[in-house]
Amino acid sequence: METVVLINCGSKHKDYPCPVLEMYGEGRLFKKSLEYARNIVDDKHIHVITFLQGCSDLDTVVECYDKPPSSIPTKERYRGMMRAVTRLSQLYPLDDTKFILLTTTPYPARP
């Protein structure tokens, strides 16, 4: 069984497109979560969850945005989470993978 760690994107981010690690890397909680995740798995098994982009690898280049999670409508957050689940199901067998969630933001089950 594989282990995968999913971490929050964090509120502190760059204002230009760049890899996920650079985009959120200065945030205190993101750094701590990443440090913890790296003690459990290799970087290839760490993914960052965002409401707008779904699920990204640490080296994936992402666009910047200036929307706090509280301002994103529930339906849009749900669509982002469904994109994340779809992506994860393409990468891992969901029934044979242990997912560790390091998140602080409530993710909607349904809109």
Model pLDDT for residues 20-54, shown as the tens digit of each residue: 999 999 989 999 999 999 999 999 999 998 877 78
Q: Is 79 exposed, middle or buried (0-12, 13-18, 19+ CB in 10 A)?
A: middle
Structural domain boundaries of the chain? 2-102
Does the pLDDT of residue 61 top 70, yes or no? Answer: yes
**pLDDT at position 54, please?**
84
**pLDDT at position 76, please?**
82
Q: How many CB atoms lie within 10 A of CB 66?
A: 7
Amino acid at 57: D
